[in-house]
Amino acid sequence: MGAAYAHPEALIETDWLAAHLSDSNLRILDGTFTLPGVSPAGAEMYARQHIPGAIFFDIDGIRDETDPLPHMLPDAPSFARIMGGLGVGNHHKVVIYDAFGLSTAPRVWWTLRVFGHRDVAVLNGGLAKWLAEQRPVTTEVPQFPAATFDAKLDRSRVRDKAQMLANLRSRREQVIDARNAGRFAGTEPEPRAGLRGGHIPGSLSLPSTELIDKATRTVLPADALAGRFRAAGADPAKATAATCGSGVTAAALAFGAYLLGWPEPAVYDGSWSEWGLPGDTPVATGPA
Point out the residues that are catalytic.
Answer: 244
CA-nearest of 247, 215, 211 to 231 is 211
Helix or strand holding residue 27 (H, E): strand 26-30
CA-nearest of 135, 103, 126, 136 to 216 is 126
Q: What is the CA radius of gyration of the chain?
A: 18
The answer to whether 249 touches 108, Cβ cutoff 8 Å, is no
28 CB-near residues (< 8 Å, 6+ apart): 17, 21, 51, 53, 54, 55, 94, 95, 96, 97
Q: At what angle do helices 250-260 and 222-231 cross, to 10 degrees?
A: 130
